[in-house]
Structures are given as structure tokens and as C-alpha cells.
Amino acid sequence: MNQTSISIQEAMNKGKGTVSVHGWVHRERGSNKLKFIILRDSTTTIQCVLERKDFDKKWEEIDHIQVETSMRITGDIKKDDRAPTGYEIHVTGYEIVGPSENFPIGKDQSVEFLADNRHLWLRSTRMMAILKVRSTVFGAIHEYFRNNGFYEYTSPIFQAVQAEGGAELFHVDYFGKKDVFLAQTWQLYAEPAVFSLENIYTVAPSFRAEKSKTSRHLTEYWHAEMEISWNQFADIMNHGEKLLKHIVTKVLQENKPELALLQRDLKKLEPTIKKPFMRMTYTEALKILKEKCKMKVEWGKDLRTIEEENLTKLYDVPVIVTHYPKKVKAFYMMEDPTNPDVVEGCDFLAPEGHGEIIGGSQREHDLEEIKKRLQEQGEDPSQYEFYLDTRRYGSVPHGGFGMGVERVVKWVCGLDNIKDAIPFPRTMERYKP
């Protein structure tokens, strides 16, 4: 065992000669004379064969090797069309690093069981594939913003104001004080910083006390948010569209094997990078829902999941719905200068019924107007003094958006449930392991 290990993928690239690899036993089967081990590392898997004639004295140990045992293996690699990944290592030496007995996860286990054993289920090829796509998505977000002149900026997670509705706040016992919550968004602490850095972004956890059990809500999710200044409303949508195009481009470049494993139809993703997104106002959306989907929505009501689903199924690219009624949207959204009933806000709805992936808006930058909006929505403006100060000293047009990273991963991977888009999902019912 004096050769240094290389990854299984590197060993396969080498294709012949002696190699040393390390990993975990993904599958094993054996007979009196032969032991087959499928070894897994983070790159891929490879079939390894041990022959009794080479290891007669150690055969009992070899015969007992079970799945998830970690090992180092040295041997001769060669192409073999019968092997699952096209190569085989004929083992000449091995070392058991960490034995594993009776690994709890086998075939056909319930969703609940897999959730209880999430820490072990992360080793499945399915979770590995999703986590690799997730890593690409995070990388692409940072890359997009950094390449476009944004500073990375962070906001506190303990916050004393709400921005997205009091009903979904997680209260924290902060040394006996009760008016402290976990961040729902960075936004109210990000807006003050555009008066300094102008264009900023973050990728950070957000928390929502969602009481609903849906396939798209987590209580803790990763939130990619941006805020820009001196801009127009359209700039926000343009950045959102370019960001999503960049993410999907990167995933298609880097994660074809993972998408294949997840049986994701790439044709469903390609229009997103090739074609402009659909843009329509809320009022236009209601008309389309009525005419094409036979769904009647009363003007002024927010779009429900089922309506969003039906709307997005009409197109093969994300749909950006703008100019929602003021009363269904947050207090900080800018009133449309041409129509006081609607706001300059936008929701990006993913194709195939995956729902809202981005929510954004131009921000109301007039001090008196924003105070009025806070009061109308039952808030006490005196609690927002620090925020209102931003409008007192050199207020400028500004705006931004937030993108739910797991929602994007769910869509890009074509997952049924958002829970698989994050390593340890937190929902109303689950906060362990």
C-alpha cells in the first residue's frame, strides 16, 4: 500500500496499469473463489475483484466485508464492458480503514425511514447527485454576482423587525427579550448598505415558520438575495433572468451525469437558457388563466399554487409576473407611478409547475409613503426607525430580489419535493437528525 491514492475517476481516466484508490463499499457479492466490490468515492464507482487464490489467508476477512466499509484498494485497472462503470480493478492489495456492519439502509425503504437516517442516506447516489448540482448552483450564484460588480454583504440573522409577514416569524428567546426573530430575509438590513456599497448580494439562511405541509416549503432555506441602487424596476427582472440563465448554463455544463442519474429531461431546461423569459402583468395573467385554463381569479386575490402551476405549464421558460395588487404584497414595494392599485413587484415562476423561485421589487423610497404603507399593514412605524432613516438621508431609487436556492435546485433537478434539495431539511414536522 505504498502508492498514493487517486480518485476513482482519475484511475478510470488512466485506464491501465497499477492504481490505488480509496472509498466505501457501495455493493458487494461473493462466492467461494471471488469477491466483487463496487467501490464508491465522491467521483464515481468502480468494480473491484479479489480472488481467493491471491488472498487465501485473509479470505475470511474479505468474505465478511459489508457495504459502507471504507477501504484502500490497490490493483490493476482495465477496461471491462461487463463492469457497471466500464472498468474493473483486479485487486492486489487492500486495507480496511473503517469496518461497517449491518448498514441500516437497504432497498425499498420508506420515505420516513430514509428521513430518520438522513445522515446515512446522504451517501446514496441520488443524494450525491443532487448535492453536486446544489454545489454548482451555489457556485454559479456567487460567480454571477461577483462578475457583475456586486459586493458580498451579510445581514444579521437575529432581527428585530419583520418584512414578510408576522405570522411566519420564528421568535427567539433572546436573554428573556421577546421581540427577536430569525431572519425571513436580509432585506431591511441590506437596504441601508446600498447607500454605501450600491450593489450587493448574499447567500444566507432564511427562516419561515411555515405551518403548511407542501412540497415547496421549508422552515429553514438558503436565500440568495440582491439589492441595487439608482436602478429601474426592469433592472431587477433582467438580473433575475440573467442569474437563472447562468445557473442553468452552469448545471448543464457541469452536471450532465448527475442529471442523467436523476432522469432529468434536459430538453425541459434548455429553453431557459436559449429563450427570453415570459413577462406578463398580474392582470394579464388573470386573463390568460381565464382564457386558456378556465380558471377564474378575482382581481385583487393573490395567485394560488394551483393557478401558478397551470400558468407555468403553458410555457417552457420561467414566467415573470409583475404588477401585483398592492394589498397582497409587502409594505416596502414601490407603488406603480401609473397605477396606485398595483406595485412594481415581480415573481418568477419556474416551468413545469415548480412555482415561485424569485420574489423581488422596486422599493418605496419616499419616507411619508412608506410610513403610510406600514400603518396600512398594521405595523408600528416607530419600530422601523433605523430603516426609515435610509429614506431621510439621501434616499435613492433602489430594489432587489430574493431567490430560494432549494426551489431552484428542485426545479433544475426535477424533484417532487423540496426536502431532497437540502442535506438536512427542516419542516414543520422535522428538525432531527
Q: Can you say how many angstroms the Cα of residue 353 is from the centroid of all Cα atoms in its chain? A: 16
How do 319-322 and 278-281 pair as beta strands? parallel
Q: How many CB atoms lie within 10 A of CB 213?
A: 9
Report in angstroms how near the CB of residue 218 gets to ligand 4AD at its nearest. Answer: 4
Size of the site for Mg ion (CB under 5 A): 1
Rounded Cα distance between 183 and 219, Å, is: 11
Q: Is 407 in the site for ligand 4AD (CB under 6 A)?
A: yes
Q: Establish if 360 lies at the interface with ligand 4AD (CB under 6 A).
A: yes
* Cα(260)–Cα(272) distance, integer angstroms: 18
Q: State in angstroms the smallest separation of the CB of 377 from ligand 4AD.
A: 14
Nearest to Mg ion by Cβ — which residue? 359
Looking at 355, 359, 399, 404, which residue binds Mg ion (CB under 5 A)? 359
Partner in contact with 80, chosen from ligand 4AD, Mg ion, none, beta carbon below 5 to 8 Å by kind: none
Query: Which positions ≥6 away from 345 have C-beta within 8 Å?
Result: 322, 323, 324, 329, 330, 333, 334, 359, 360, 361, 362
Of 41-49, 149-157, 187-195, 353-361, which segment contacts Mg ion by CB under 5 A? Answer: 353-361
- Closest to ligand 4AD by CB, 406 vs 420, is 406
CA separation for the pair 222, 212 (Å, rounded): 18
Binding positions for ligand 4AD, 237-296, rule CB under 6 A: none
In whole angstroms, the minimum distance from the beta carbon of 221 to ligand 4AD comes to 4
Separation between Cα atoms, residue 57 and residue 257, nearest integer Å? 40
Nearer to ligand 4AD, 89 or 346 (CB): 346
**Binder of ligand 4AD out of 145, 150, 401, 411 (CB under 6 A):** 401
- Where does this chain touch ligand 4AD (CB under 6 A) — which range of 17-25, 173-181, 308-316, 398-406? 398-406
* Cα(48)–Cα(119) distance, integer angstroms: 26
Residue 281, C-alpha cell as written in the block: 402583468
CA distance 139 to 156: 22
- 233-254 and 405-413 helices cross at what angle (nearest 10)? 50
The stretch among 166-174, 208-216, 237-245, 355-363 that binds Mg ion (CB under 5 A) is: 355-363
> Using the rule CB under 6 A, which residue among 63, 116, 164, 341 binds ligand 4AD?
164
For 238, half-sphere exposure in the C-beta direction (CA atoms, 13 angstrom radius) is 7
Nearer to ligand 4AD, 47 or 202 (CB): 202
Looking at 104-161, which runs of residues are DSSP E strands?
Answer: 151-152, 158-159
Cell numbers at 302, concatenated: 393573490
Name which of 26 and 239 has its Cβ closer to Mg ion.
239
Which chain residues interact with Mg ion by CB under 5 A? Answer: 359
Which chain residues interact with ligand 4AD by CB under 6 A? Answer: 163-164, 184-185, 187, 208, 210, 217-218, 221, 223, 225, 356-360, 400-404, 406-407
